[in-house]
Amino acid sequence: MRHLLSPAKPDLPPGCSAPTARPKGRGALGNPPVRFETLHREAEAADWPEEEVPRLATSLIRDRTRSVISWNESPDLGFDRAVNPYRGCEHGCIYCYARPTHAWLGYSPGLEFETRLVFKPEVASLLEKELAKPGYRAAPLVLGSNTDPYQPIERQLKLTRAVLEVLERCGHPVGIVTKSASILADLDILARLAARRLVRVDISLTTLDGDLARRMEPRAAAPARRLEAMRALARAGVPVGVLAAPMIPGLNDAELERILAAAAGAGAGWASYILLRLPHEVAELFRAWLEAEFPARAAHVLSLIRQTRAGALNESGFGARFRGTGPVADLLAQRFARAARAQGLAEGRVALDPGQFRPPVLTRAAAEGQLALL
């Protein structure tokens, strides 16, 4: 992995045209243009023999943001604030709704989303300053609302752990969403937070089929490892639930009941699901991937998706965007409710206690953003 402070030229030229063989370990087939830019580069399709398809290196890019809490007023979400230590995600999930956010940085939502990762080295100290502001009122803060806080580079940078250390010192409640077994590296902090009713974890589980998982989520933890992470969290007393997401009609939705049963057996206490979302560039990225990986089923899957989205591939309106509309979506909702009841899985997450929050006490140097002298 290359560690850079500015963008690096990738090993394959970015562009609209995808190579006929996908780079090893990556999800997208190419780089759609950045929608905010009028000019873009376009690569010719490269007919690589499968054994010679080159790997794309990962570049790390420093984020110099001066604030880290993201606020929202969405009625679809059960929280109003979040922290994301990373932008872009090396897991490479082809369906990821966060891909279009990379265009805000001038990068493509395709392969660049997976290979040009932006990290926030000062995320913990900046969070501490925001929590210390007069008038701040604590409520559950979410890690992983956009990109996974436990993607592979967390093992080296440990930015998510640094955030958890700040939250633990302040007695601030936190919810975590991840599809990575690497969360167990922070089991010590999570267990202490759980004893104080300050943490809950949602493990995202898309499929129990290892082959399908490798195709859809090439660098995410295998399904079996996610279930083992649930077991370990539950044994340590950390409240954990399952997020069956995304449900893709005609591709993985038939597994819904089995996913909930496996999660309940691993110690999950609640369940939720989200219907596939395909905002902006994700629709074309997913369509190209689907036609490459499942050519015989692609047309049927796309037809079913459109039946849940009023004839389109995406619907952005509040209320409908997570669940969809129409008979196909309604049947999925009914199946979920029935399966969750059968497995004893609650639909609501455990409540956390914001009353323990105490603002951090900053030194004058920290408050002014100065470096302390050694």
For residues 10, 182, 77, 282, the Cα torsion angle rounded to the nearest 10 degrees is 30
Per-residue confidence (pLDDT) for residue 275, from 0 to 100: 97
Determine the angle formed by the axes of helices 159-170 and 187-195, rounding to 10 degrees.
20
Distance, in Å, from the CA atom of 150 to the CA atom of 143, rounded to the nearest integer, reads: 9
Q: What is the pLDDT of residues 253-273, one digit of tens each?
A: 999 999 999 999 999 999 999
345, pLDDT greater than 60: yes
| Ramachandran quadrant class, 190 (left: phi over 0; alpha: psi -120 to 50; beta: rest) | alpha
Q: What is the pTM of this model?
A: 0.86
Q: How far is CA 104 from CA 43, 101, 119, 222, in A?
A: 22, 6, 15, 30
- Strand 116-119 and strand 86-87: pairing? antiparallel
Instruction: Give the residue ranges of DSSP H helices in the chain.
Output: 111-115, 123-131, 154-157, 159-170, 187-195, 210-216, 223-235, 256-265, 282-293, 298-308, 327-342, 364-367
42, pLDDT greater than 90: no
Q: What is the pLDDT of residues 315-331, one digit of tens each?
A: 888 878 899 999 999 99
Cβ atoms within 10 Å of 15's Cβ, excluding its own: 20
Please, which contacts does 208-211 make with residues 24 or more away whose CB atoms are closer than 8 Å? 208/255, 208/258, 208/259, 208/262, 209/252, 209/255
Q: What is the pLDDT of residues 238-248, one digit of tens each?
A: 999 999 999 99
- Strand 69-71 and strand 81-83: pairing? antiparallel
Instruction: Tell whether the torsion through CA atoms of 293, 297, 302 and 308 is positive or negative.
Output: negative
| Partners of 70 in the β-ladder | 82
In the chain, the domains with their CATH numbers are 62-83+121-357 (3.80.30.30)
Distance, in Å, from the CA atom of 178 to the CA atom of 96, rounded to the nearest integer, reads: 13
Instruction: Tell whether the torsion through CA atoms of 79, 85, 86 and 91 is positive or negative.
Output: negative
Among 174-183, 226-235, 353-362, the range scoring the smallest mean pLDDT is 353-362
Burial of 147 (0-12, 13-18, 19+ CB in 10 A): buried
